[in-house]
Chains A and B, each alone.
Chain A
Amino acid sequence: MPEGLRVGYFPGCTLKTDARDFESSALAVAGALGIEVAELGRWNCCGTVYSLDAVNLMPRLASVHNLIRAEEEGFSEIMTLCSMCYNTLKRTNNLFTSKNNGLAAINDFLCLKPGYSGRVKIYHFLEFLREKIKPEQVKDLVVRPLDSLAVAPYYGCLLLRPKEMAIDDPEKPEILTPFLSALGAKVIDFPLNNECCGAYQTAMHPEAVARRACRIISSAQSEGADMIAVSCPLCHYNLSALQGMVRSTHPGLKAMPIVYFTEIMAQAMELDYKTEVEAIPRDAEPGREAVK
């Protein structure tokens, strides 16, 4: 087990409420792998969406405050679990390192001396695992192999796009494959694994998002998946909570369990973490009971 793996942790809003299962399972997995995860002492909203306005720097300030605090607390690397937090913080950070940067304007606006350096590195937990942990280390910790399970990893948008943010190939992502294989699961590749779930449109246009969910779930099912593993609380909500709406228009669609990738890791390692869901039921047909 590697010694001294320490990383700062930026949770974000949803990890402390609707996605507590994600946080607790991820922290349990990190602990088992010898990663010391230190939550930032102070943090605020990541900014949620990266503003695409080329002119106005104001929407970046929420992210900048978090980056400044990470640097002040002595972290050179911070990690997020939520894909949106990852994307927003990293894109803002890139603003400081790119040629036409907003560094001077933002540091001036916030009256910062010496100002934020732009040197904090932002990881998503998946990227952190790939760079620091070998799949064999995960395999060594597996107590209950997932031999009978076909798991379809779903990546969504914000870990893969735009290109400079991508933790993997934007059109053919496979970053989860070695880790799921290490758990003994059969990994299902399906063509819509990098398609948008509809994201925040769920607040205003849930019917449009339900159509997305339907297509994504059907695609995974037709490739033989027992469950879909996600890495973002919003994807999780859209694919799981809207399944009732999907079934009202597509009654033939079978229920598809949606789990965070860390949940199945934690359960395969039989780690103790707080959850209300048994992602992998012991006695039932694999995965069928895990729909929230």
Chain B
Amino acid sequence: MKIILGNSHPQSLFAQKIEALSGQKLFACYQCGKCSSGCPMAESMDLLPNRVIREAQLNNGPVLMSCRAVWFCSSCFACSVRCPKGIDIARIMEAVRTLQMMDGKPITEQPSCEDTGTLPQIALVSHFRKFNV
């Protein structure tokens, strides 16, 4: 994979924000890839979960602030229960999503009116709870 190193100290700003928001230790990750191999939504993601963590470790804000993968994470916690280092990866995905939302980018589209007629409440309410600040 192509990795662009940021010119700031690896454990500076962006990584710190993600660690604070998620409560997880980013630098515990040694890139085994178990999270990505078991991720049910991986085929829809532009960056695999382990790559999201790697970019965060490298403090690569621009890549993470435009990545769409976090919007496909359905917080099923398969990665979290399987991580050999005990990292709750779903929380890291949520932290990146939160940072994107705080940045004010109109990332989430809304379900259309036609869709909302057939969706059960549980789908609509959880979608809005998850994907809106």
Contacts and interface: CB of A to CB of B under 8 A. Distances in A.
A148 interface: no
A109 interface: no
Which size bracket describes the interface of A in this complex? 35 or more
A54 B77 contact: no
A49 B75 contact: yes
A198 B78 CA distance: 12
Interface in B118-132: 118-127, 129-131
B30 interface: no
Contacts of A157: 74, 76-78
Main secondary structure of the interface of B (DSSP, over half): helix
B91 A212 contact: no
A234 B122 contact: yes
Contact of A18 (B22, B121, B131): B121
Nearest to A208: B44
B123 A162 contact: no
A200 B127 contact: yes
A59 interface: yes
A198 B127 contact: no
A82 B122 CA distance: 10
B48 to A, nearest CB: 15
Given A49-B75, A204-B111, A233-B122, A162 B94 contact: no
B131 to A, nearest CB: 8
16 contacts: A12-B122, A49-B126, A49-B130, A84-B126, A162-B81, A163-B81, A200-B122, A200-B123, A200-B130, A201-B41, A201-B72, A201-B127, A203-B123, A233-B120, A237-B119, A237-B120
Interface of A: 12-14, 17-19, 45, 47-49, 51-55, 59, 82, 84, 156-157, 160-163, 170-171, 195-196, 198-206, 208, 211-212, 233-234, 237, 241
